Amino acid sequence: MRKIKDVLRLKLDAKLSHEQIAGALGISKGVVTKYVGLAAAAGLDWPMVQDADEITLERRLLVAPQKPRNHVQPDYGRLHQELRRKGMTLMLLWEEYRAEHADRQTYAYSQFCDNYRRFARQLKRSMRQIHRAGEKMFIDYAGPTIALTDGSRAHIFVAAMGASSYTFACATPRETMADWLESTARALSFYGGVTQLIVPDNPRALISDANRYEPRSNDTVLDFARHYGTSILPARPYHPQDKAKAESAVQIVERWIMARLRHQQFASVHEVNQAVAPLLTRLNEKPFQKLPGSRASTFAALDAPALLPLPLQRYEMAHFKTVKAHIDYHVEVEQHRYSVPHALVGQVLEARITIAVVELMHRGQRVASHARSSRHGGFTTTAAHMPAAHRAHMEWTPQRLIHWGQSIGPATAEAVTRLMQENKHPEHGYRACLGLLSLAKRFGKPRLEAGCTLALQIGACQYRHVRDILVNNRDQSAPATAGDWVSPNHAHVRGPGYYQ
């Protein structure tokens, strides 16, 4: 444009010929003729050319006057938001645009796409990522923190939806794994549903192996994802553009929320959250600058219908430990022993430990669940985990043995009761009682009852005494008549007169 301006200066002001101008500027006479003719057609003289800048001069000389537009102009902002829905294409939007304005002049498909892409390029000078509704939630922590009166600081957790940019923020005392997962659970409750993917960066609290190609989350994070039916997809290391939504949301929270709280004093994290809540509502309801609606309205229209349902119970923080089933079919967790099915003796299991429950899993399947106990050195045993012989032994109690004896007869029940009383500990008499009751299989219940009656009369209730009575058939002889015992007369009895 500088050379064109020189052509016009030499012609309109200096009044040189075309040949002189071409020789002075090193161009052809045809070029001089062209631009002098364009200036004449535009009605320009030298004072007008001298005062005009290059953009104005180019528009007056080179840009053809625009014809009046008779085409119906689409709402490109609405089209941009509609493309975030699953399965939406420009072809479908163009067909709807043609059908809506069938009685008026509309753009052809190619011009429709060109106009939309030109609009999309005006939004931001970077790679445009298309986020599907309900597909991703981006999470991160803000860099700045909020000071508390006790000298500690509140850290601000930020979450943003991919399609609508609907933002959530809360304060936590630190940035540990428990803080990350608890804040993420609160964000999902705030949104009222679960996205297909959760995209953090690569914090050490969540990601055990921040590999560029196969990043691996730790076991607790994977358990969190299984509980909510979602997946954790960390961004590539040192690639903040992978989570641009989170970076943008963090910047907005810093400017619209944290900056407004800089003059306030807070005694606890709870007070910070109370102050953040109303500002967060204002932020989400603030209208977009270039797009229709707000974060809240866009979330209600796009993301909310596409979210997966929340589980019935909120996630309970858990950590995992590898344990081994010992020969007594128990595993040790925090110096307490919990039973597992006896068939798993010698197997390596995984213990999932929460505040209230200890779950034991074998190859991903839960095989045992116990209430968590803080008693060191104690045992928690489920009867179903024991072998049949052990379970039968555990089921023997004095009351059960006495009840078994009563089913045979009162004399047998009395004999069992005496056997229990003769021992310091009831378990010492279990074998003798079981042996006594087992005589019913050999001799029958009536004979056992008669044998116990005879044994009680002579004061000999041991197993061997009752067995000898039955073997010798003494229970089948005439029963002895009960009466006062009288010592027989014989030479060895001195009598009471001896001591007078």
Query: Is 310 part of a structural domain of the chain?
Result: no
- Of the candidate ranges 65-74, 95-104, 186-195, 482-491, the one whose mean pLDDT is the lowest: 482-491
Q: Give the residue numbers spanning the domain of 454.
A: 396-476
Are both 371 and 453 inside the same structural domain? no
Residues 6+ away with beta carbon under 8 Å from 203 = 141, 175, 180
**C-alpha dihedral (360, 366, 367, 373), degrees to nearest 10:** 40
Tokens 């659970």 -> residue: 185
Question: What are 95-117's pLDDT values in tens digits?
Answer: 899 999 888 889 999 999 998 88
Are both 162 and 259 inside the same structural domain? yes
Confidence (pTM): 0.52
- Average pLDDT of span 344-355: 84
- Average pLDDT of span 20-44: 83
Mean pLDDT, all residues of the chain = 81
Query: Residue 181 in contact with residue 221, Cβ under 8 Å?
Result: yes
Both tokens assigned to 148: 């508390």
pLDDT band at 318 (very low <50, low <70, confident <90, very high): confident
Query: Is 483 part of a structural domain of the chain?
Result: no
- C-alpha closest to that of 212 among 232, 197, 196, 234: 234
Distance CA 276, CA 400 (A): 65
Helix %, strand %, coil % of the chain (to 5): 50, 15, 35
For the chain, how many residues are written? 500
Are both 276 and 164 inside the same structural domain? yes
Both tokens assigned to 81: 């938001």
Long-range pairs, 466-469, Cβ under 8 A, ≥24: 466/415, 466/436, 466/439, 467/439
Distance CA 358, CA 373 (A): 9
Are both 239 and 331 inside the same structural domain? no
Query: Is 36 part of a structural domain of the chain?
Result: yes
Query: Is 287 part of a structural domain of the chain?
Result: no
Query: Is 30 part of a structural domain of the chain?
Result: yes
- Average pLDDT of span 329-345: 85
Give the DSSP per-residue string, 237-251.
TT-GGGGHHHHHHHH
Question: In this predicted structure, what is the pLDDT of residue 190?
Answer: 92
- Of the candidate ranges 306-315, 387-396, 458-467, the one whose mean pLDDT is the lowest: 387-396
Distance CA 148, CA 135 (A): 36
Question: In this predicted structure, what is the pLDDT of residue 429?
Answer: 65
Are both 145 and 277 inside the same structural domain? yes
For residue 197, the Cα-to-chain-centroid distance in whole angstroms is: 11
Question: What are 126-143's pLDDT values in tens digits?
Answer: 545 667 888 889 988 988
Are both 272 and 145 inside the same structural domain? yes
Are both 268 and 325 inside the same structural domain? no
- C-alpha closest to that of 254 among 137, 174, 167: 167
Q: With 90 as the cut, is the pLDDT of residue 15 above it?
A: no
Out of 387, 415, 446, a domain closes at 387
- C-alpha closest to that of 281 among 304, 303, 256: 256
User: Tell me, what CATH number does 232's domain have?
Assistant: 3.30.420.10
Are both 266 and 141 inside the same structural domain? yes
Query: Is 426 part of a structural domain of the chain?
Result: yes
Are both 195 and 272 inside the same structural domain? yes
Domain count, the chain: 5
Query: Is 69 part of a structural domain of the chain?
Result: no
Both tokens assigned to 167: 């933002």
Are both 149 and 233 inside the same structural domain? yes
Question: In this predicted structure, what is the pLDDT of residue 207?
Answer: 76
Out of 367, 387, 407, a domain closes at 387
Are both 156 and 273 inside the same structural domain? yes
Are both 405 and 369 inside the same structural domain? no
pLDDT band at 240 (very low <50, low <70, confident <90, very high): low
Out of 282, 305, 327, a domain closes at 282
Question: What are 441-453's pLDDT values in tens digits?
Answer: 888 888 888 888 8
Query: Is 488 part of a structural domain of the chain?
Result: no
Distance CA 426, CA 275 (A): 66
Q: With 70 as the cut, is the pLDDT of residue 397 above it?
A: no
Question: In this predicted structure, what is the pLDDT of residue 489?
Answer: 67
